[in-house]
Structures are given as structure tokens and as C-alpha cells.
Structure 1
Amino acid sequence: MSSTIASPSSATGSAPVTGQGTDRPVALTSRAPHVPADRLVAEMVPPPRFDTVRFDNYIPDPNQPSQTEAVKLLSGFADGLGDSAAGGRKRWFRSRPAAAAGPRGIYLDGGYGVGKTHLLASLWHATPAPPERKAFGTFVELTNLVGALGFQQTVRTLSGHKLLCIDEFELDDPGDTVLVSTLLGKLVDAGVALAATSNTLPGKLGEGRFAAADFLREIQGLSAHFRPLRIDGEDYRHRGLPQAPAPYDDATVERVAHTTQGASLDGFPALLDHLSKVHPSRYGAMCDGVRAVCLTGVEPVPDQSTALRLVVLADRLYDREVPVLASGRPFDELFSEEMLKGGYRKKYFRAISRLTALARDGKPLTEG
């Protein structure tokens, strides 16, 4: 019997997605959604996983004083955005003349799993401005917005904002470097405050991925917009938690898929192939209404392009708190040793960390 799987948030403006009932799980490989530009703009808010995060419920590691210091500095940053000064300058930057005001933003640098996205979303929530004057999105979502709206319209759309938060800030090619450098420069000129997270210091963006030296001016221009704030620590997603469950057999994964309302079921190789045919900006919409992702035959990804697409999917599933059950190889064997030593290694380690957390979330589904 068929049923309707509702989209996770009415704020997206997307229509409900029709899937199958518990006897027939939906297949992600059957979905190639169209995402209108107005949805991309409306969705520039913290994802569902971070709806309730605040500075007060961030739990600093007592052995890492930089985490406590980050909460204090970001709280002050948010408070400073509450008062506007002449020319759109905010109190946080008011101590020096506009021409020498220095960085217009905060850049949270640290390893995966130290709570950078929690802090970034907390800053968004704490900034005293209506949601339509604050924007939050990943670096990929920001570049997708430019692609959907065009550069000038994106500048006009975001220039009226008080704050732009950019999660997972990474430069993967020279085109993105020039695009984002120009965009952020114009937004800073318009008085927009910036905040970003990354695993790479601003001056090191692009290293190991393309000839960063050829675009040094743009990279240095990006770095000048931010005050780096280092956050040390170990991955909180696995701090003090039991080991992730080992992969299940195919029969268990298929049973859970058929008995869990809103679950999806796909063969892993077929899903990887499907991701190559859907733009990464649509991966979030592809997961609308999916309450568990079931995968059979997980195996190491064959190449870097496929690996990077899988990273984006892992991020969207993590944002939406969608548990994952899988058969085949464990998630820490997805990426080759060469990949884990290359320029995208931090993305791959983030994906492993997030998929492992989602696999832990999925274990209770096998016990029903």
C-alpha cells in the first residue's frame, strides 16, 4: 500500500515526495529532484540537526581550553552584531576606523568533530536579526546558489543580510577561488559580517588540490576577511561512545528497509552511479522524507570524483539525522590509503566520522 513521505520542513517550499509503504522501500536511485532557486535561498538556515543548538548546550572538552575560549569569543561576536554603527559597521568592528577595521569575520579552524558546526549554528541563532537577514549554508550550497541565481543576483540577495555563515569552507578548484573571493569582498563592502568553519587555515585553502600559488592573491584576499580562531580537540561524535556496529548481512539490511516506514534501499554501486547523474545541490532534496538509508554491498569507492560526491551525500544525511544501515565493507574502508593522504583527506575523514555516527544511530532499527 502506498503512502506519502512528507518533506522534513515546510520551510523548504518543496512538495511532499511520494514513496512506498513499509512493504516497498523507496530507492534513492529513483530520485532526481528539481530544486528551484527560491528553495535554495529559503534553505539557507541551520539544518535540522542544528535547530536546537546554542552556546549554552555546547559542551567544551575540559582538556581543551580553546573550546571554552571559542564560545566566549563567538558570544561576544554575536552580541556585537546587535548594534549598527554608521555606514552599516557593527560594534564588534567599531574600535578602529572603517578603512583599518581589519577582518569582517570569524574563521573557525580545527579538526573534524570538535563542534565547529555546532558553534557556527549557535552564532546564527544568537545573532539578533530575523531569519531572513541571516544566512547559513555549506560552501557547496553557497556556490550552488550563485549558479542558480547568477552572481549579481546573489550579491543583491545576500547584501541585505547581517550575517553570512559558511560551513565546511574549502576551495577545490581555481574557479571557486576567484568566485568566492569576489563574492565575499562585495558582501563585506556591503556591511555583511562573515563566519566560517573549515579544517584548513585561510591561507592554506586549496593546498594539495590545485596550483594554489597561481591564485595566491585571491586566497590572500579571502584570508584577509577573517580572524582565525583555532579549536583543538578530538572527535566528539565518538568521544566515550561504543564502537560503531559492524556491517550487517544483506538479509538484515533488507528486512529493516521493508519494516521501517520511510526507509530507502539501494545497492551501493548503483547509488554511486546515480550520484554522478544528479547535481550535488540536489542531494538534500533527494533525501526528503527518507527516515533511514539502507545500503547493500558497500565497497571502496573507485575514484576521487565518486568519493567527493559521496562526501556531499554523507553531509546531507548527517544534517538531516538520517540513520544508515549497510552491508559489505565498514565505512572506514570506503577511501583508499592514497585518498586519505591526498589533498581531500580531511573531507574523507569527515565523511567517515559522520557515516560512523549515523551507523550507530541505525543500530536500534535492527532490534525492532
Structure 2
Amino acid sequence: MSPSPSSSADSARPAAATSPAGGPDAGPGPASLTDREPHVPAERLVAEMVPPPRFDAVRFDTYVPDPAQPSQSEAVEMLRSFAAGLGGGKGTGSERKRWFRRRPAQPRPSGPRGVYLDGGYGVGKTHLLASLWHATDAPAGQKAFGTFVELTNLVGALGFQQTVRTLGGHRLLCIDEFELDDPGDTVLVSSLLGRLVDEGVALAATSNTLPGKLGEGRFAAADFLREIQGLSAHFRALRIDGEDYRHRGLPAAPAPLAEDAVVRAAHRTPDASLDGFDALLGHLSRVHPSRYGALVDGLGAVCLTGVGPVPDQSTALRLVVLADRLYDRELPVLASGAPFDALFTPEMLEGGYRKKYFRAISRLTALARDGERLASA
């Protein structure tokens, strides 16, 4: 399980850089992520279990299925029915029979207690998961939305029993980017979701891996087969096919910018940050991934110089989490150096975490398009 974040007050210290000209009247320069040391109290982790800013306004009606992929339309209708069963939407009489009534902790109800959206990166799984959260007719305090990493961090901050008490009164728990990277997470999440199901909590999750295949290629998953099978039993899997909507019909990814262009854009863009890529990777190793969202709080753009291939898998996985938080917050990225599709080595892109790396490339490329518009403004 990941280490728990600090419970001290939230803080971040932006750097006071000078302008490229270095003149006394240039005013404060861009912030530096490497000067920020955020601390996230446990109560903030709970309060922020809602869809991120990028998905504030998404709904089932704003999802645009690909006509060539019928599984996308089928998933929308299935999730509408699921939401109606939880009290969201108008639904039919049979749909409104409530799929998941509150029940005593024992005996555990049989059969799947949730839905699991499986599909490649960029088919709109997070859009649909957030739409389900919005469509469920329950106060924010009775439904929760977070990534898998955020869920395990919550357990680290609150403790297992307090997490069960905190989430056990919820009607719905949505888990985005569901992945098992180590045996500790497998046992932890299996136990947690089992307890929440006993409490009557409905589950919904997204992943690039079928529930029965979680952990495959990353650790000795066969040794934890019982826990993995237990996780799989909680969900009805919905396969969503299709190509990455972020790049459907769009031109190729923008080429990296010249370093001086990145620096100039950082100094003229309100609330931008400016960092060397290697220094940022080193800083990420000293900041817990649960704090990466707080690390970029208040920024308007992220500017990076000297982007290049990441040196090892641990660094690569930290960069994936940062890319997710940047994408959630719709932060344009301006970068010099290597293109984003050269971040990860061929060995990484063929290994057990390849789907995470392709997702990061896809999301950073989309943010780089936004950054290109800033650079040319």
C-alpha cells in the first residue's frame, strides 16, 4: 500500500523567478513545481472525492458514441439504467427497483455489485464514470469519485476501519483507473470493496484491464488469485471498444517547442510554472503521488524544458500520475526537448504497465495541443 500523506495544513511555495531579461522591473516570474511541497490533510482527501474539473459538466447526453462502435452506445444505456436503479434519472418501473438496497452486513449478497468499464485509452470511460456519478440521485456526501491511487491513499490517511465507516454510508463509489501494481494493493482493495459491498455500497470502476486480469505482468498474480477473483466477482464487466477520441480526426501531435519559446511563454502566461524536466522528475520522487493534484493547484499552464526519456519504471509511473492530474485540471503543457511519444522506452511500452504509458502519452499530447496555442498567441 502506498504511504499515507501528511495531515498538516495544505501549502505550496511558488518560486519567485526573474524574467529572461532579468531586469528589476520585470516582476515575479513563473512558479516552479520543484519549489512546491504540498501537504494534503485527510479531510481534504475525503472532500475531493468528486469528479475532477475536466469532468464537472459531463453527462450521458454529452458523450458522443462512435457510430462504428456499438459497444459505446450500449454502455451509455447500461449506465443510464444503473443510475436509475440507484435513484438517478427517470428510468422505467423495472429500472427503479433499486439494484442495491441497504442490507445487513451478513450474509454477503451474491452476484456482481457493480459495473466495470473495460476498454482502451481514450474511449471515454472516465466521461461515462463521471456521468454516472452526476446522474445518481444522491447528495455529494453519499457518493464518491476518485482514482484507484486516491482510494488507496485514503486508506493510508484514515486507516482501514475508518475508511469503511466513511464510505460505508455511501450509495455509490466510483473508482477511475483501477489497476493493481503490487500484492499489497490487491489484498487491501479486495478487503475494502468486500466490506463496502456488505454495507450496500454500489461500485463502478474503469480500467484498461479486465478485472480477472488485474496485476498480470506486474507481480506474481497467480499467488493472489483468490483476491483477484474476489475483486472480479464484485463487477459486471462492460467492454467499450473504439479509438482514442482525443486524437480522432485531429492532426499529428505538435513538435516540441524551442527552449526559448517555452521560457518566453512561461513568463507571459498568467499562473504558469517553469521547470527543467530532469529536476521535476527528481522532485516527484520526493512528493507522494497523492499530493500531485495539490502540487499543480492554481496553475494556468505547465512549461517544461529538456524533456527526454524517463530513466526507469518507478519514475515513469510517477510521471503517469502527474499526467493524469494535469489532464484532470485541463492544464496546457508547453515543452522543449523530446516529443511525448519518446518518453517511455520500447521495453516499457511492451511491459505490464504499457496501457498506463499509452494513456499518459495520449493525455500529454492532448495538453500539448493546448500548449501550442498558448505558445503561438
Aligned to 1:154: 163
TM-superposed CA distance for 1:93, in Å, is 5.1
Determine if the alignment matches structure 1 residue 69 to structure 2 residue 78.
Answer: no
Percent identity between the two aligned chains:
79
> Residues 256 and 347 from structure 1, CA distance in 2 versus in 1: closer, same or farther, beyond 3 angstroms?
same
Determine if the alignment matches structure 1 residue 234 to structure 2 residue 243.
Answer: yes
Q: How many residues align?
A: 348
1:105–1:194 contact (8 Å) kept in structure 2 = yes
2:14–2:35 contact (8 Å) kept in structure 1 = no
Aligned to 2:184: 175
2:109–2:198 contact (8 Å) kept in structure 1 = no
Q: Where does the alignment leave 5 or more consecutive residues of structure 2 unmatched? A: 1-8, 18-26, 89-95, 102-106
TM-superposed CA distance for 1:235, in Å, is 0.1
Determine if the alignment matches structure 1 residue 188 to structure 2 residue 197.
Answer: yes
Determine if the alignment matches structure 1 residue 58 to structure 2 residue 63.
Answer: yes
Q: Which amino acid aligns with 1:134?
A: K
Superposed, 1:341-356 pairs within 5 Å as 341-356=350-365
Aligned to 2:221: 212
1:262–1:292 contact (8 Å) kept in structure 2 = yes
TM-score by length of structure 1 reads 0.92
Q: Which amino acid aligns with 2:59?
A: R
Runs of 4+ in 1 over 4 A off after TM superposition: 13-23, 98-101
TM-superposed CA distance for 1:23, in Å, is 4.3
Q: Measure the CA separation in 2 of the matches of 1:41 and 1:155.
A: 12
Q: Which amino acid aligns with 1:133?
A: Q
Determine if the alignment matches structure 1 residue 109 to structure 2 residue 122.
Answer: no
Q: For residues 190-210 of structure 1, give each alpha carbon's deviation from its aligned partner in whole angstroms, at most 9, with x where no partner exists.
A: 000000000000000000000
Q: Measure the CA separation in 2 of the matches of 1:326 and 1:104.
A: 44
1:110–1:200 contact (8 Å) kept in structure 2 = yes
Q: 1:39 aligns with which of 38, 44, 49?
A: 44
Q: Measure the CA separation in 2 of the matches of 1:17 and 1:126.
A: 38
TM-superposed CA distance for 1:36, in Å, is 0.2
Q: Measure the CA separation in 1 of the matches of 2:243 and 2:32.
A: 35
Q: Measure the CA separation in 2 of the matches of 1:232 and 1:165.
A: 20
Determine if the alignment matches structure 1 residue 257 to structure 2 residue 262.
Answer: no
> Residues 60 and 184 from structure 1, CA distance in 2 versus in 1: closer, same or farther, beyond 3 angstroms?
same
Q: Measure the CA separation in 1 of the matches of 2:341 and 2:140.
A: 38
Aligned to 1:24: 29
Q: For residues 148-186 of structure 1, give each alpha carbon's deviation from its aligned partner in whole angstroms, at most 9, with x where no partner exists.
A: 001000000000000000000000000000000000000
Determine if the alignment matches structure 1 residue 223 to structure 2 residue 232.
Answer: yes
Q: Which amino acid aligns with 2:58?
A: V
Q: Which amino acid aligns with 2:39?
A: H
Aligned to 1:10: none
Q: Measure the CA separation in 1 of the matches of 2:67 and 2:12.
A: 44
TM-superposed CA distance for 1:92, in Å, is 2.2
Q: Which amino acid aligns with 1:43?
A: E
Superposed, 1:280-291 pairs within 5 Å as 280-291=289-300
**CA RMSD, aligned part only?**
1.7
